[in-house]
Amino acid sequence: MIEVTVRDGEVAGPSEPEVQQGERVRIVVDADVADEIHLHGYDLTAAVVPGRPAELDFRATAPGVFEVELEEAGLLLFQLKVVP
């Protein structure tokens, strides 16, 4: 599981977590703003609101480096590295 917290525009969590291709991945984002988290490349999204963390649960089928961001804020949370 990859956990990220966003408070006052500051991101706390791993900056470039690495997972194996084929692995099941769970991303949990707790933010103090209402927004949407977006995993680029996989085109997965989830709504986040204060007090209710967003969760993305998926299988990492495609190798590469993929940005995860707060979409509306344009805030990069981390870059997910999927290795074969």
CATH, residue 75: 2.60.40.420
Ranges of the chain with pLDDT below 50:
none
Reference 55, options 34, 30, 73, 80; nearest CA is 30
DSSP string, 51-75: TB-EEEEEE--S-EEEEEEETTTTE
Q: Residue 76: give the domain boundaries.
A: 2-83
Q: Using one digit for the tens of pLDDT, what is the confidence trace for 10-29?
A: 999 999 999 999 999 999 99
Q: How many domains does the chain have?
A: 1
Query: Can you give the pLDDT at residue 51?
Result: 92
